[in-house]
Amino acid sequence: MARDKSMKNIGHERSRRSRQTSPEWASGLRRLYDSVVEEPLPDSFNQLLDRLDGADD
Amino acid sequence: MTEPRSAADAVSFKRELTGVIPHLRAFARGLCGRPDLADDLVQETLLKAWAAQERFEPGTSMRAWTFVILRNAYLTDMRRNRFRAEYDETVAERILVAPAGQEGPLHLSDLHRALLTLPPERREALLLVGAGGFSYEEAAEICQCAVGTIKSRVGRARATLSAMIEQGAIPRRALGDAVAHDAIMEELEGSASSTEQAHS
Residue B28 DSSP SS3: helix
User: In angstroms, what separates the C-alpha of B66 from chain A's closest C-alpha?
Assistant: 14
- How far is the C-alpha of B131 from the C-alpha of A18, rounded, in Å? 18
- How far is the C-alpha of B153 from the C-alpha of B173, rounded, in Å? 25
Q: Is residue B153 a part of any domain in this protein?
A: yes
CB contact, 8 Å: B172 with chain A? yes
Q: Is residue B198 a part of any domain in this protein?
A: no
Q: Is residue B2 a part of any domain in this protein?
A: no
- The answer to which of A28-42, B75-89, B174-188 has the lowest mean pLDDT is B174-188
Question: Hey, which residues 112-171 in chain B have their CB within 8 Å of chain A?
Answer: 112, 115, 126-127, 130-133, 158, 161-162, 165-171
Position B183 pLDDT exceeds 50 = yes
Q: Which helix (H) or strand (E) holds B66?
A: helix B62-79
- How far is the C-alpha of A44 from the C-alpha of B181, rounded, in Å? 29
> In this structure, what is the dihedral angle of CA atoms B66, B43, B76, B181, given to the nearest 10 degrees?
-110
pLDDT-based confidence at residue B30 (cuts at 50, 70, 90) = very high
Count of domains forming chain B: 1
Position A41 pLDDT exceeds 80 = yes
pLDDT of amino acid A5:
42
Q: Is residue B156 a part of any domain in this protein?
A: yes
Closest among B198, B143, B151, B135 to B31, alpha carbons compared: B143
Compute the average pLDDT of residues B114-120: 88
Compute the average pLDDT of residues B147-172: 87
Q: Is residue B51 a part of any domain in this protein?
A: yes
pLDDT, tens only, B75-113: 888 887 655 544 444 444 443 333 434 445 567 888 888
CATH number for the domain harbouring residue B66: 1.20.140.160
CB contact, 8 Å: B25 with chain A? yes
Q: Output A4 or A45, whichever has higher pLDDT.
A: A45
- How far is the C-alpha of B83 from the C-alpha of B30, rounded, in Å? 13
Enclosing domain of residue B185? 7-193
- Residue B130 has its nearest CB partner, among A26, A35, A48, at A26
